[in-house]
Chain A
C-alpha cells in the first residue's frame, strides 16, 4: 500500500477439536479454484492422522504483517491485498514462481504451495474466495462447524 501500512484481513479459522477429517474443505476448495478434485491443489490442507484421530490443518492465517506480501518482488502485482476482504492473494497471471512468499512465511509449514501450469511454476494460497459473495466455500461446506470465517471488520476491532 502507498502509505506502507497493510490493511487487516478476514481469516478462516480451523478449530481442530471440531474437525473430523472428512476433507470436504479441500474438495470444495480445489473444485472452486482449480476446477478439479485434489487435496494437493487445495488452499487448505488437513493433515489427517487416522490412528491418532487428530486433524490439524495447514491454512493461511492472513497475518497482520504478511511476510509473504512483503517478500514478493512484485508486491501489489503478483501478491496482492484484496480490497473487500483484505485477503493476501496471489494473482496467478502475474506470479513469476520465485517462491519468495512461501519462503518468507513464518509458519512452520507454509500454507503457500506451488503448481505447474503450461510449464510455468506458480504459487497459490488461500484468497478467502474473494470473488464469491457467499464467502469462503470451505466454511460454507464444513459439516462440523470446524471452520469459521472471521471477517475483516471484526478483526479490525481487535
Chain B
C-alpha cells in the first residue's frame, strides 16, 4: 500500500516450529478489516480451524496494531491481542484483549502492522524485531524470571528504548489467567494469552523501530487531532467534568493526552538487584487489594435477601494498604491477572458462609495476607490447590465436591464465558436500567468480558442523576436524553425500563460496531466513540444546551491520515463487518447460537441491585429478538443471514456457513 498513510504495510508471520519468519502485505486486509481485531478476525476465519485448542501448534497468537498506532491520534497507543483463550468457559475459544504502553507504536516504527505467531518453539525463546528484521533467540536464561526482571534483562541487552512484552511464571506454567505484561503497568490480562505464549515457549517479544509512518495529509491530520482532543477535553466518558489530575496520573499508553486513571500509586519493588519504584495505576482493583471495594455488596441486608436468595457475596474487605500492595506486586510480577483475586476473595467468603472451610485440605483464610501470598505462588507454580485453581474458578468447581449453592455462587461471580461479572448490575457494580440492558446484550454476544471495549455504555451511569452510584449532580438528565435522541435520531434510548426496546437494541448495536472499530483502528475504549463530550468546568457543563460530542471524530482523523475517503457510515459498516465475521467464526468453530447466548439468562432474573429492575424469560427473549433484528440475524438461531453477510461483502463467509448448514434464514 505505497500510497496510503497510516499502515506500515507488512504483517510479520512467525512459525515457531520451523523458526521461519515471513512478511505478508497488509493490503490483503485493508481497508475492509482496517487493522487490530478486524484483521486478526479475518486471519482467524481463513486459518483457524475448528477444534484448535489454546496450546495447539495451529493456534494463532496475533499481536495487532491499527492505522492510528504510533501516530498523533489521541489515545492511539493501544495494542490488540487475539487468539484461542485457555480461560473462556466452557470451551476455549477465539477472543481478544488489549494493552497500552509504547510497544504497539514501536512495532509500527519497526515496519509491521502486526505479528502473527503460530507453531511451538522447541525450547524457551524470544522474538527480537528491529527495523524490518525478525529473529528468534534463545530465552533459556530468562525462563522463570518475573515480568519485571525479564523486561529489565532484555532492555539491558537491546537498549533502554527497546519495548518489551513478556510473560512471567504464570504464563510459563499455563495458568488460564496469565497475563502478557508490558512496562510496569500495562498488560493483556483477562483471556490468559500469557499462557498461550507460555505454551508456545515464547517468553517475550522485543521491538526496536526507527522508521516513520506516512501521513497522507499532515496539516489536516494534525488539525483533526487537535480538534478531537478539544472535544474530549475532560478525558474519558466517566467524567462529565475534567478531573483534578495529579502528577501521578501517567498516561497508560503512547500518544494519550489524558492520563485519566485516578488511582495511581507508587509501590516499591525490587527487581534484579535494582530498586524499582513502581507507579501502578490499576484503577478499580487497586482499591480491592487494600479495601474499599463495595461492588460485590448489596446496599442493605434486606435487599440482599430479597434479591439474591441463597447467593451471598460480601464486599471485598481488602487487606489494608501495605499488605494489599505486597499481594498486588506478587500477582503482577508472576504475570497473573488481579481480577482472579477479586472473584476468589468473594467466592472464599461465600464458601465459609456456607460451611466450606477447607478446599483440598487447604484452610480458607481470605482475610490473611499470608494465605493469599501462598495461594498465588502456588497458582503461578501450579502446585497443590494452585494447580486446581490455575484452570479457573469454574473448571476447579467441576472437579470439587461442593454444596450446589457454592457452585452456583461461582457461576454468579463468573456468569458468562468464564469471566468475572462486570457492570451487569448484579454481582458487581450497580448499573441502573436501561444501562444494564445494553451491557447485558454486549455480554450475551461477545466472547469475553465485553467491558474491555464497552466502557462507553458501561459508564453512562456517571452522567445519571446522583442517586445512582457514581452519578453526577451537575448533569441534567433531560439534556442527557436529548443528547442520545440527537445522536441516534430516535427517542427513548435512555428511558428506564423496557419500552422502546428496538431503539435500545439499535443503539446497542451501534456501540458494539464502534467497539469493533476502536479495537481495530486502534483507539482507547474509555474515550471513543464520542456521543458525549467532556467539559472543562461545571459552569460550562451547566450552560451547555446538550452534551453531544462528535460521532464523526474517528473518521475526521482517519481520512487525512490514510488518504482513504472513508466517512462515519463506512466506518460503521466496517465495525458491523468485523462483528459479523467474528460471529461467523464462532458459529463455524464453536457452534455459537441463540442457545449459547442465552446461557446466563438466569442472572438477569435477579433484580438490579439498586433499582430492582429484572427480566423474566419472555422479556429476555423479546430483548434478544430486538437485538438480532437490529443486526439482521435470524432470531430463531441468532445467526446472520445471507443478505446481511452479502451486504457487508462477506459472501464467502455466507457460502461456508451455508455449506455447514449454519446460515441464518431470512424471515
Contact = CB atoms under 8 A, between A and B. Distances in A.
A21 interface: yes
B37 interface: no
A49 interface: yes
B160 A32 contact: no
A153 interface: no
Contact of B222 (A22, A28, A39, A48): A28
Given A24-B257, A27-B255, A36 B102 contact: no
Contact of B210 (A32, A35, A40): A40
Interface string B102-117: 1001000100000000
B347 interface: no
A53 B210 CA distance: 22
A37 B184 contact: no
A152 interface: no
A143 B212 contact: no
B256 interface: yes
Contact of A22 (B152, B215, B256): B256
A106 B213 CA distance: 32
Contact of A137 (B161, B222, B255): B222
A48 B72 contact: no
Interface in B408-425: none
Contacts of A27: 71-72, 255
Contacts of A21: 250-251
Q: Binding site of A, secondary structure by majority: helix, strand, loop or mixed?
A: loop
Interface string B199-235: 0000000000011111100110110011001000000
A76 B105 CA distance: 38
Contact of A143 (B101, B221, B259): B259
A31 B215 contact: yes
B213 A38 contact: yes
B255 A41 contact: no
A51 B182 CA distance: 11
A14 to B, nearest CB: 16
A141 interface: yes
Contacts of A23: 102, 105, 254-255
Contacts of A28: 72, 222, 225
A121 to B, nearest CB: 15
A158 interface: no
Contacts of B257: 22, 24, 141, 143
A141 B277 CA distance: 29
Nearest to B68: A37
Interface in B104-142: 105, 109
B72 A31 contact: yes
A143 B258 contact: yes
A35 to B, nearest CB: 4
Nearest to A30: B212
B183 interface: yes
Contacts of A141: 72, 226, 229, 257
A94 interface: no
Given A24-B255, A143-B259, A31 B212 contact: no
Contacts of B225: 28
A26 B15 CA distance: 35
B250 A53 contact: yes
Contacts of B431: none
A75 interface: no
Interface string B495-510: 0000000000000000
Contact of B71 (A37, A41, A51): A37
A34 interface: yes
B377 interface: no
A50 B184 contact: yes
A20 B250 contact: yes
A113 B160 CA distance: 19
A21 B249 CA distance: 11
Interface string A37-67: 1111100000111111100000000000000
A18 B246 CA distance: 10
Given A27-B71, A37-B213, A141-B226, A22 B218 contact: no
B580 interface: no
Nearest to A21: B250
Interface in B347-363: none
Given A53-B250, A143-B259, A35 B183 contact: no
16 contacts: A23-B102, A27-B71, A32-B218, A36-B212, A36-B214, A37-B212, A39-B210, A48-B161, A51-B152, A51-B184, A51-B276, A53-B277, A53-B279, A141-B229, A141-B257, A143-B257
Shortest Cβ-Cβ A-B pairs, 4 listed:
A38-B212, A143-B257, A36-B212, A27-B72
Interface of B: 70-72, 101-102, 105, 109, 148, 151-152, 155, 160-161, 183-184, 210-215, 218-219, 221-222, 225-226, 229, 247, 249-251, 254-259, 276-277, 279
Given A22-B257, A31-B215, A38-B211, 7 more contacts: A24-B255, A24-B257, A30-B212, A36-B215, A37-B212, A39-B210, A144-B259
